[in-house]
Structure 1
Amino acid sequence: MPKDHGIGAAPKRREDVRFLTGAGNYTDDINVRGQAYVYFLRSDVAHGRINGIDTGAAAAMPGVVRIFTGADFEGVGGMPCGWQVTDRHGEVMQEPAHPILAQGKVRHVGDPIAAIVADTLEQARDAAEAIEVDMEELPAVIDMKAALADGSTKVHDDLTSNLCYDWGFVEENRDAVDQAIKDAAHVTTLELVNNRLVANPMEPRVAVGDYNRGTDDSTLYTTSQNPHVIRLLMGAFVLGIPEHKLRVVAPDVGGGFGTKIFHYAEEAFCTFAAKACNRPVKWTASRTEAFMSDAHGRDHVTKIELALDADNNFTAVRTETHANMGAYLSTFAPSVPTWLHGTLMAGNYRTPLIYVNVKAVFTNTVPVDAYRGAGRPEATFQLERVIDKAARELGVDPIALRRQNFIQPDQFPYATPVAVEYDTGDYDATMNKLEEIADLSGFAARRAASEAKGKWRGLGVNCYIEACGIAPSNLVGQLGARAGLYESATVRVNATGGLVVMTGSHSHGQGHETTFPQVIAEMIGIDESMVEIVHGDTANTPMGMGTYGSRSIAVGGSAMVRAAEKIINKTKKIAAHLLEASEADIELKDGNFTVAGTDKSVDWGSVCLAAYVPHNYPLEDIEPGLEETAFYDPANFTYPAGAYSCEVEVDPETGKVTIERFAAADDFGNVINPMIVEGQVHGGLAQGIGQALLENCAYDETGQLLSASYMDYAMPRADDLPFYSVDHSCQTPCTHNPLGVKGCGEAGAIGSPPAVVNAVIDALHSGGKTGVLHIDMPLSPDRVWAAMQ
């Protein structure tokens, strides 16, 4: 019988009450008395030299408070990059300056040239039209391979080239991989594109800067996934504000998907301008503005080779990737195609030799950074597409080929050749579950039914593994991270027994306000309604790293457990004193402390009251009060894994692809709330299917963004998506965190794109189009139709 509370139960999300009744407090809902509004004048060319800016007429227009240009930020720090990559030659990456407002040159369409602060947004926008910019348009470089050619236009004049870094991993494997490919019985080669994406969260980015002249305190309200990191980066490296004089608040942020991890120029500008104008300053992105100012995702071009022996065992993988950085280095951009991608190239398989080469390239496009999955979708797509192509070339069943090469349960912990160690997993179990829930045995009959309607039906299968809860800090520090990747929590117990948990994790759709209380309630044996979760405000939460990489429950939840354990240990001491017993004999269950083997007990509330009303209290042993803080730094990543299947119908007349069935069998370790886990998987599947079939951020050769609105950028709608069969009953708990959890937020977006593409290729083969071995995403009707011809 399903549990009705605690870990494993599925209570409804408590935060949804305010979201669904219009009572949420989103960033754009925040208005500070007397605030002004900012409008950014952005470049309409991808590459240009600024010869002059005349703001005179604009500054005299009604309502204009002040106009800022790059000259106002001379001596102010630029936007920092949070990860430094060292290339395969031992050289650190090229790291260009990234000013808050353009200085001397613009480097992508949307690069901010000037910022107009006015009484109203309309007045600021009107004034922007009166600014005269003397711009000399320069040749733009958009294609990554062209950007690396000799004599190519340089995005940054002070760099030696457009190459950010040339990374090799694992470099000592390189010669052995080359030899294994030469010696292989069969080598499958595939060239593919991982298409550029725009995250498009529900709420566009917002920044509200406020300054208190009396206390010299600055406050930034922002749509961020990690307010403490924004405070650190902006305070220490950009504006020079001591952290104790800077507060960052991220309230109900309407979705993030990675694009709200990073520190953006608009945040720094609003904070700076609020002090300069002695007045609150607010900016809200329009949707079109978001398309050219939010960090984009993916944008890799890859050649992958898979070597197999005569028995179809994988012997080596070699990849060469060009990864687009865009015009500047966003906060975590260098880590995505390297340490978040190369370390996952083993997948679920026993491949003894792997070599990954990544060339990161500057182009005159919007910066690229982490997007849901961040590196792991790119790795999975390469690997699972080339395995499917190999199966087709060899004439073997694609599921059987994968099973043959799976890491087996008795091989865990398993050290891969790309420097990570999987602690647990059972990939045959998830494949078995997939075959069951997807009814793969009935596929042949469904294909025949589709053919009777004149449609081609295809089946695609995918296996994935990902690394979540990126850690530990001493390891990522060696890899170039410029921040620790721990998490923190403070648990404060009130005198009447209720708890407030202040977490450094941030919730922007993950359901922390529901799942975190389930964990605490289970530990103590109290009702979840007695637990309140506080997050998103640097003024009242401990220093934390925020939420991304499916780290919330594995890292943030573990910190919370450690803090709660300290509370429980202290309350046991108090209970032992009240019950005149040995602390070792005290047991806590269902909200009551009992003396083992007796009927003597005292309830949770009485012990909490005794902590604050210490009339009968062992003061000589412990101090009054109940509040504890813990910082948790994981010993390893967690490794969720799974198997997905997709069935599509292709219309041979138009090339239109319709997804008919989709099944997902995931291993997330222990599950806190199965309803929320299922919702997270559904959301990830929608984004992965969107990438596979619809979404594409496109530039022309001059650097103009061709997909800067929903008229041109196709987001998935309800009728583009099927009903999903989702299962997470195959659980191999993580061995190195106290909850045994692995993370679930990105899995759907990782596993779905190759499953969809594999299914479409299979459908084309069923229709006799045997020469089609690959189509680059998105598989729009025109691309599929063209391939069929």
Structure 2
Amino acid sequence: MGASDFANLPHIGEAYKRKEDYRFITGSGQYTADVVLDRQAHAVFVRSPHAHANIKSVDATAALAMPGVISVFSGKDIDGKMGGLPCGWLINNPDGTPMKEPPHPILAIGKVRYVGDQVAMVVAETQEQARNAAEAVQVDYEPLPALVKVSDAAAKKGGVTLHDAAPDNQCYKWVLGDKAAVDAAFASAAHVTKLDLVNNRLVPNAIEPRVAVASFSRATDEYVLYVANQNPHVERLLMTAFVLGLPEHKVRVIAPDVGGGFGSKIFLYAEDVALTWASKQINRNIKWVADRSESFLTDAHGRDHVSHAEMAMDKDGKFLALRVHTDANLGAYLSTFSTAVPTILYATLLAGQYLTPQIYVEVDAWFTNTAPVDAYRGAGRPEATYLLERLVTRCAWEMKLGQDEIRKRNFITQFPYQTPVALQYDTGDFHAAMDKAKTLAEVDGFAARKAESEKKGKLRGIGYSSYIEACGIAPSNIAGALGARAGLFECGEIRVHPTGSVTVFTGSHSHGQGHETTFAQVVAARLGIPVENVDVVHGDTGRVPFGMGTYGSRSISVGGAAIMKALDKIETKAKKIAAHLMEASDADIEFAGGEFSVKGTDKKIPFGQVALTAYVPHNYPLDKLEPGLNETAFYDPTNFTFPGGTYICEVEVDASTGEVKVDKFTAVDDFGTIINPMIVEGQVQGGIVQGIGQALLENCVYDSETGQLLTGSFMDYAMPRARDFPQFKLDTVCTPCTHNPLGTKGCGEAGAIGSPPAVINAVLDALAPLGIKDIDMPVTPNRVWEALHGAGKA
């Protein structure tokens, strides 16, 4: 079945309410913290108050004597008994040498490297007892100077060394593109635009903090780990093969309902390993629930780039070449996929939607005394889009062109299109998205709205952002050549029951995306059965075939494609059964609308009859077919998918206070085939909120001298609220993906990718008459007021 045929099936494109929401809104969901096991103990971690210090000793004597305390583990207890946390992506330097990979111990051994680094784990009968005992653990620290800012690391300031394996604190240098060709293009350019910018560090802040519950059975020598995680099979693989050295089949990882992830729950964390290992040591079940303060300190953070970018153009504003240098902060240790984010997932997107013939990128990655940095909603793609779309708008202003006009002059129009930064786009219509966005945003009325704002003493600006995203990282062999240490396929298993109902087992994981509804729509559409007759199972390595989980907006395009392949097998076998029942050749059997029919006749039987026959094979060709109707398939994509779109933002700025109000926001996206428009709209709205949050509010700040986290609570880290936003105007265009059977492209990260540059471009457009050309995210009232004051206008 082709993508166009699939898009026209019943159930596809229909806005079904999410099946899973009933249990969530009635309090019937089961999150990891809801798991209560017999003889369950509680763990609390002793964490470093220093950003950088030698550990001279850890004394747990007083803690062990306290009521309810079962055990205390520190680095000396694990040293030599397990490996450290692994990094899942190898990056090589330009000379071919591998990046530096310092050890990342499960509990600190000899040294701590950021505030929150885990030093010891206290296990007690109750959480309160464990907390009290953790405060009694005496750690003798020898404080050391801290290195916090990535710009200081790049400048080699301070004489600080985090790891012996990286004496200069550099993890790697990575390059992409033809430097000589780019330099030549710049030498002949009519105009060059330059821009320095910062992509601010973010704290993910999923509504559910990280949680883990570990158990060990001496009877079977098996472990079970319940964990709030986006990819339980990957968690199990990394933990067993690379850290604990356990047989994989002896460890079951279950990720039940998960209250948001946004990338922060992809990774293998030290707490998960520590609990799993300790459950055997004390022969008890152990639960750990992070509080919000721990989440701020220890969840992998996002972004944190400092970049310089230059665009070479001809006299008409056509792009000739792009040159970029980025210093990326990796934090104190390498997190699971941290090394891929500022390289493979960032630099390869710097072509954007534009015909830029030559691009050259250098990335220097650095260790600092801060929490590890890894993938956060968009993972490299927001960083690339922010840099490129800010630069393109700056180009427009310097060339005296409209923000829309310079984009249109440089849009790619012929597909497939091979970019100069490795990726090949299969399809798209960037002009259509731009035109629809301008109409929906009522751009023609902007001048009148600007005049009305001026009458009120306000400054109004408009900002554009035309983004492209690469979703569903693929294929495995190419990713492997680029340094991936895991496959990037997905699995799907279809179990048709005797009554014709269906259970789907998917290696993808849902943590708010609505998979139980969307996947059910896909299966119901193919088999011609009601959506309510399809159940979806995920998140359990004991029930689901090996899968790679959910990240990078891959679920429907990769996980859904695996399900489609399994459905192909179901249909093929079902046609053979139907052919036998109707005494026809299976080549003459057609299947549509839930019925099998014989071509050219009125003979037909329903899907349910075929399903029952498969399990009650009284009239069945047993010599040719096995009973049952279960099939499994794995899908490894041949390419990324490439959603894209244009976002237009209008803001009002109060010059007296510096307050920025987002007055209008329009988003037009191309997601290919859309299964459930209501779910897609929710994903886009959530992403836009996160993107505007980064642009105007959110900022993770460490003290530059001590390395203390200054924004360690919601009192200091400003999260967006509903009152901060207008009603978004959303729409789509559709150019179906050409290389998966659904024609889908992925939608989960788009809003967070396209929105920040649209907002900042709008703010700068408002401030431009006052001579203000640049401002860093987040554009807080204080920063705007200071910019206005510096311009002599406050």
Pairing of 1:489-568 with structure 2 (within 5 A): 489-568=492-571
Measure how far apart 1:74 and its partner are: 1.2
Query: 417, 426, 429: which one pairs with 1:414?
Result: 417
| 1-structure distance, mates of 2:509, 2:121 | 30
Tell me, yes or no, if the aligned pair for 2:232 and 2:541 is still in contact at 8 Å: yes
Tell me, yes or no, if the aligned pair for 1:146 and 1:152 is still in contact at 8 Å: no
SS in 1 for 2:339: helix
- Residue in 2 that maps onto 1:669: 672
Pairing of 1:709-728 with structure 2 (within 5 A): 709-728=713-732
- Residue in 1 that maps onto 2:404: 399
Measure how far apart 1:3 and its partner are: 9.5
Pairing of 1:768-779 with structure 2 (within 5 A): 768-770=769-771, 772-779=772-779
CA distance change for structure 1 residues 745 and 587 in 2, over 3 Å: closer, same or farther? same
Tell me, yes or no, if the aligned pair for 2:489 and 2:548 is still in contact at 8 Å: yes
Tell me, yes or no, if the aligned pair for 1:4 and 1:11 is still in contact at 8 Å: no
- Residue in 2 that maps onto 1:782: 782
- Residue in 1 that maps onto 2:142: 136
Q: Amino acid of the residue matched to residue 78 of structure 1?
A: G
Post-superposition CA distance 1:46-94 (Å, at most 9, x none): 0000001111111111100000000111121110110010122211100
| 1-structure distance, mates of 2:331, 2:115 | 11
Tell me, yes or no, if the aligned pair for 2:9 and 2:526 is still in contact at 8 Å: no
| 2-structure distance, mates of 1:133, 1:511 | 45
SS in 2 for 1:683: helix
Tell me, yes or no, if the aligned pair for 2:492 and 2:507 is still in contact at 8 Å: yes
Query: 304, 314, 318: which one pairs with 1:313?
Result: 318
Query: 275, 282, 288: which one pairs with 2:280?
Result: 275
Pairing of 1:138-153 with structure 2 (within 5 A): 138-148=144-154, 149=156, 152-153=159-160
- Residue in 2 that maps onto 1:342: 347
Is residue 19 of structure 2 the alignment partner of residue 18 of structure 1? no
Is residue 86 of structure 2 the alignment partner of residue 83 of structure 1? no
Structure 1 unaligned regions, length at least 5: none
Measure how far apart 1:764 and its partner are: 0.9
- Residue in 2 that maps onto 1:255: 260
Pairing of 1:9-48 with structure 2 (within 5 A): 9-48=14-53
Post-superposition CA distance 1:437-479 (Å, at most 9, x none): 1111111111111111111111001100000000000000000
Measure how far apart 1:150 and its partner are: 6.8
Q: Amino acid of the residue matched to residue 344 of structure 1?
A: L
- Residue in 1 that maps onto 2:114: 108
Measure how far apart 1:34 and its partner are: 1.1
- Residue in 1 that maps onto 2:792: none
- Residue in 1 that maps onto 2:184: 179
Q: Amino acid of the residue matched to residue 622 of structure 1?
A: L
SS in 2 for 1:292: helix
Measure how far apart 1:605 and its partner are: 0.9
Tell me, yes or no, if the aligned pair for 1:5 and 1:11 is still in contact at 8 Å: no
| 2-structure distance, mates of 1:216, 1:151 | 50
Q: Amino acid of the residue matched to residue 315 of structure 1?
A: L
| 2-structure distance, mates of 1:150, 1:89 | 25
Query: 265, 272, 296: which one pairs with 2:270?
Result: 265
Is residue 163 of structure 2 the alignment partner of residue 162 of structure 1? no
- Residue in 2 that maps onto 1:424: 427
Measure how far apart 1:5 and its partner are: 5.2
Tell me, yes or no, if the aligned pair for 1:205 and 1:285 is still in contact at 8 Å: yes
Pairing of 1:220-259 with structure 2 (within 5 A): 220-259=225-264
| 1-structure distance, mates of 2:17, 2:9 | 11
Tell me, yes or no, if the aligned pair for 1:163 and 1:360 is still in contact at 8 Å: yes
Post-superposition CA distance 1:473-506 (Å, at most 9, x none): 0000000000000000110111111111100000
| 1-structure distance, mates of 2:755, 2:194 | 22
SS in 2 for 1:67: strand
Is residue 692 of structure 2 the alignment partner of residue 689 of structure 1? yes
- Residue in 1 that maps onto 2:379: 374
Q: Amino acid of the residue matched to residue 160 of structure 1?
A: P
Post-superposition CA distance 1:278-312 (Å, at most 9, x none): 00000000001100110000000000001101121
Measure how far apart 1:423 and its partner are: 0.1
SS in 2 for 1:326: coil
Pairing of 1:655-666 with structure 2 (within 5 A): 655-666=658-669
SS in 2 for 1:266: helix
- The TM-score with structure 1 as length reference comes to 0.98
Post-superposition CA distance 1:654-677 (Å, at most 9, x none): 110000000000000010001100
Tell me, yes or no, if the aligned pair for 2:170 and 2:365 is still in contact at 8 Å: yes
CA distance change for structure 1 residues 481 and 717 in 2, over 3 Å: closer, same or farther? same
Is residue 607 of structure 2 the alignment partner of residue 624 of structure 1? no
Is residue 169 of structure 2 the alignment partner of residue 125 of structure 1? no
Is residue 73 of structure 2 the alignment partner of residue 68 of structure 1? yes
Q: Amino acid of the residue matched to residue 720 of structure 1?
A: D
Tell me, yes or no, if the aligned pair for 1:46 and 1:364 is still in contact at 8 Å: yes
Query: 190, 193, 197: which one pairs with 1:192?
Result: 197
Query: 93, 98, 106: which one pairs with 2:99?
Result: 93
Pairing of 1:691-710 with structure 2 (within 5 A): 691-701=694-704, 702-710=706-714
Tell me, yes or no, if the aligned pair for 1:385 and 1:758 is still in contact at 8 Å: yes
Query: 207, 213, 216: which one pairs with 2:218?
Result: 213
Q: Amino acid of the residue matched to residue 665 of structure 1?
A: V
Measure how far apart 1:33 and its partner are: 1.3
Tell me, yes or no, if the aligned pair for 2:100 and 2:171 is still in contact at 8 Å: yes
Tell me, yes or no, if the aligned pair for 1:51 and 1:135 is still in contact at 8 Å: yes
Instruction: State the aligned residue count.
Output: 780
Post-superposition CA distance 1:721-760 (Å, at most 9, x none): 12100001x1000000000000000000000000000000
Post-superposition CA distance 1:509-545 (Å, at most 9, x none): 1100001011111111111111110000000001000
Tell me, yes or no, if the aligned pair for 2:650 and 2:662 is still in contact at 8 Å: yes
SS in 2 for 1:638: coil
| 2-structure distance, mates of 1:445, 1:3 | 43
| 1-structure distance, mates of 2:452, 2:175 | 49
Measure how far apart 1:316 and its partner are: 0.4
- Residue in 2 that maps onto 1:303: 308
- Residue in 2 that maps onto 1:463: 466
SS in 1 for 2:702: coil
Task: Using the aligned pairs only, state the percent identity.
Answer: 61
Q: Which has the larger displacement, 389-398 or 459-468? A: 389-398
- The TM-score with structure 2 as length reference comes to 0.97
SS in 2 for 1:334: coil
| 1-structure distance, mates of 2:187, 2:545 | 54
- Residue in 1 that maps onto 2:745: 742
Is residue 739 of structure 2 the alignment partner of residue 732 of structure 1? no
Measure how far apart 1:151 and its partner are: 6.7
Structure 2 unaligned regions, length at least 5: 1-6, 790-794
- Residue in 2 that maps onto 1:583: 586
| 1-structure distance, mates of 2:188, 2:708 | 46
| 1-structure distance, mates of 2:136, 2:555 | 47
Query: 346, 367, 372: which one pairs with 1:362?
Result: 367
Post-superposition CA distance 1:401-423 (Å, at most 9, x none): 00000001xx1000000011000
Measure how far apart 1:128 and its partner are: 1.3
Tell me, yes or no, if the aligned pair for 2:147 and 2:158 is still in contact at 8 Å: no
| 2-structure distance, mates of 1:83, 1:657 | 40
Tell me, yes or no, if the aligned pair for 1:88 and 1:169 is still in contact at 8 Å: no
Measure how far apart 1:508 and its partner are: 0.4
| 2-structure distance, mates of 1:406, 1:115 | 55
| 2-structure distance, mates of 1:392, 1:603 | 64
